[in-house]
Amino acid sequence: MTFTVVIPSRYASSRLPGKPLLDIGGKPMLQHVYERAVASGAKRVLIATDDDRVRQAGQGFGAQVEMTDAAHRSGTERIAEVVERLGLDPDSIVVNVQGDEPLLPPALVTQTAETLAGDGNAQMATLCELLDDSTALFDPGVVKVVMDDAGYALFFSRAPIPWHRDAFASAANSLPTDGTLYYRHIGIYAYRVGYLKRYVSRVPGELEQAESLEQLRALAAGDRIRVAQAREKPGPGVDTPEDLAMVRALLTASG
């Protein structure tokens, strides 16, 4: 199996301006992400951006950087432009690694690609992990996923799903104690190139707009997303100044 990784990267961020280039342990955050993607065994790793500062930084640490249209609404659209330009085969697998995941284990990038490669019925693949923290369960910034018995996504939401009617009525904002399992979605995706082109041609629907989750565009169209439980614990992503401080401390502690 071979696969390509594309890292979409925007410079603008309302909470962390210039987020991709923020220093973590003497390197820009984007470099940490790139190096982990390279360590996954990907045949090719590229950065897709619309900002020249990101392009210069990426090329400075040896990455291939593709400039993309600034009007894209999502990283997936940015990736679709890149794969179209590269002329990749429709059956080729592309993994979308977010540019704000400097601690993402390389093995999870590989696992996502392998999950899609091993399932001819899935249009996409992604990962999840067990959620055992009630604060995270009720945090709208933490995306939850429920799967069917075959491991395909039924729904993604910022709300706690499934909504445990009885448990939440008697103990609000607490994890149920009857063994009901909750899963956090890990925002890494694998697609085949042919499907990716179809996906981005669709107009975002009501579900996607309501939850602000682009993977719901696939489910609304009846596409299948295979969800595998992550083999390793993913590190924290960086969305806030507090996240950045945590990641800096973790990298310092690990040497």
3-state DSSP helix/strand/coil percent for the chain, to nearest 5? 35, 20, 40
pLDDT for 255: 66
CATH of domain 3-254: 3.90.550.10
Mind listing the pLDDT tens digit for each residue in 3-21? Answer: 999 999 999 877 788 999 9
Mind listing the pLDDT tens digit for each residue in 68-89? Answer: 999 898 899 999 999 999 999 9
Mind listing the pLDDT tens digit for each residue in 201-246? Answer: 999 999 999 999 999 999 999 999 999 999 999 988 898 899 999 9
Which pTM was predicted?
Answer: 0.95
Average pLDDT over residues 179-204: 96
Q: Give the residue from 115, 118, 112, 85 showing the smallest Cα distance to 96.
A: 112
pLDDT for 60: 97
Give the domain ranges of the chain. 3-254
Kindly tell me if the per-residue pLDDT of 254 is higher than 90: no
Q: Give the residue from 112, 116, 21, 126 showing the smallest Cα distance to 65.
A: 21
Q: Is the dihedral of CA 66, 190, 18, 211 positive or negative?
A: positive
pLDDT for 239: 87
